[in-house]
Amino acid sequence: MNIQVGDIIKLENNNFVTADLLLLSSSEPHSLTYIETAELDGETNLKVKQALTVTAELGLDLQKLSDFNGEVKCEAPNNKLDKFTGTLTLHGEKFALDNEKMLLRGCTIRNTEWCFGLVIYAGPDTKLMQNCGKTTFKRTSIDRLMNVLVLVIFAFLALMCFILAIGNGIWEYDTGYYFQVYLPWADGVSSAPYSGFLMFWSYVIILNTVVPISLYVSVEIIRLGNSFYIDWDRKMYYPLNDTPAQARTTTLNEELGQIKYIFSDKTGTLTQNIMAFNKCSINGKSYGEVYDLAGQRTEITEHTEKVDFSYNQLADPKFVFYDHSLVEAVKLGDAVTHRFFRLLSLCHTVMPEEKKEGNLVYQAQSPDEGALVTAARNFGFVFRARTPETITVVEMGETKVYELLAILDFNNVRKRMSVIVRSPEGDLTLYCKGADTIVYELLDSSCGPLKDET
């Protein structure tokens, strides 16, 4: 596809975005467009973009799109994936543009039937290409050592040929003349420097075997054989997934035994990025443990009876919970328990994806958010849909649409996330979740006994 800046292109569901686009309109309400940015930042959760209201009116009308005569002024091409500033001038009015209205090259359209975008950057000017650095060739310590040794051998060869060339000139001057009796000379070389130059290169040709050219070939063959040993190593075989070790390159084999330090982010390394909702404390009461008839806590095993969520048609079949008392509290309409799960279903940034009727899949920025929203879903508070202005939740079979007034995102300073919503009854509520140390500091003094119980 030959794309130029200023073109308006149409993208459909699961299409790959081939240029940096300004979103104009889409098939979704409020001109929302859902994208996956795994190729850009490695995150598999869906993100939402929204077009300007003035361009959303263009819709699917090709005549209006072809007559679009707006002017975009924006920053020069750069590699900042999370930042974009510019203005759109349309019908004499100026509209601010930011990153929330951009579809970057490398994204994939999801859950959106179609959308139209105006090409802002194309080719090497796109943010994806601006982030592509030059490929560096990695050399091992053995490669570097061999290169140094070969250079030393070359220097030794040159020195030896130089000495031999000088010696040959001296010998010919002192002794070689008398050998004409046995081997008459043809037309000789009258210039001594020229004769020495010829003899120097003659000795280079004669002694070229001093340079171990075959050493490089031998090392590569050894590395190839070593890679087969890595593939066949039973200690590196993972039987659960039937996955053996695989040497994808043979150039760094010998470096494996020379590693002194490993820098690793423990997130995901220890937890495999799998989070499960196992326990919770609501109003000072703990849920998640299993007790026998005598009131003694028992260990949870594969034979322990699981909670039956069949009453909830929208429940996630993979969700497992063992404490039946929490389900009973929800069914009995306990107000505090309902508020707890209502918070979990509202205070998050999860995006729902319904591949078919009733089959909900949550795309979360973090596994803990996904686990909490899934727990609320199974206990009867099902998060169904999100727009920039609303959140739709099915509470115990009743669909409720909450007006989303503000989102205070989680960050390393606040260490908590908050949302402000207006319920269908008109009540304004701020829901907050975050690190216990931070939330404890914000509690009213009257919550002291409850804090101690928790």
Let me know: does 128 contact 37? Beta carbons within 8 Å.
Answer: no
Of 15, 35, 27, nearest to 353 by C-alpha is 35
Judge whether 67 counts as a catalytic residue: no
Residue 266 assigned ligand-binding role: yes
User: Which runs of E-coded beta strand occur in 37-188?
Assistant: 46-50, 71-74, 86-90, 93-97, 102-103, 108-110, 114-121
Residue 265 annotated in ligand binding = yes
As a whole number of angstroms, the distance between CA 108 and CA 122 comes to 16
CA distance linking residue 163 with residue 150, whole number of Å: 20
Q: Which two tokens stand for residue 1?
A: 């596809």
Is residue 267 a known part of a binding site?
yes
Task: Say whether 395 counts as a known binding-site residue.
Answer: no
Question: What span, in angstroms and rounded, lies between the C-alpha atoms of 253 and 250?
Answer: 6
Kindly state the tokens that stand for 447. Answer: 């919550």
- Please identify which of the residues 174, 265, 292, 452 carries the catalytic annotation: 265
Amino acid at 9: I
Provide the token pair at 346. 């509202």
Point out which residues pair with 72 in neighbouring strands: 88
Residue 13 CB coordination number (10 Å) = 14
Return the structure tokens found at 149. Answer: 């040794």
The pair of structure tokens assigned to 449 is 């006994």
Q: Count CA within 13 A, CB hemisphere, residue 100.
A: 8
Determine the Cα angle at 115 with ends 95 and 50, to 5°. 40
Listed in sequence order, the DSSP H helices in 94-213 are: 127-130, 141-174, 192-206
d(CA 132, CA 124): 9
381-386: strand order across its sheet: 381-386, 390-395, 398-408, 416-422, 428-434
- Three-state SS at 79: coil
Binding-site annotation: residue ranges for Mg(2+): 265, 267
- The residues assigned a catalytic role are 265
Instruction: Please enumerate, by residue number, every residue annotated as part of a binding site.
Output: 265-267, 369, 410, 433
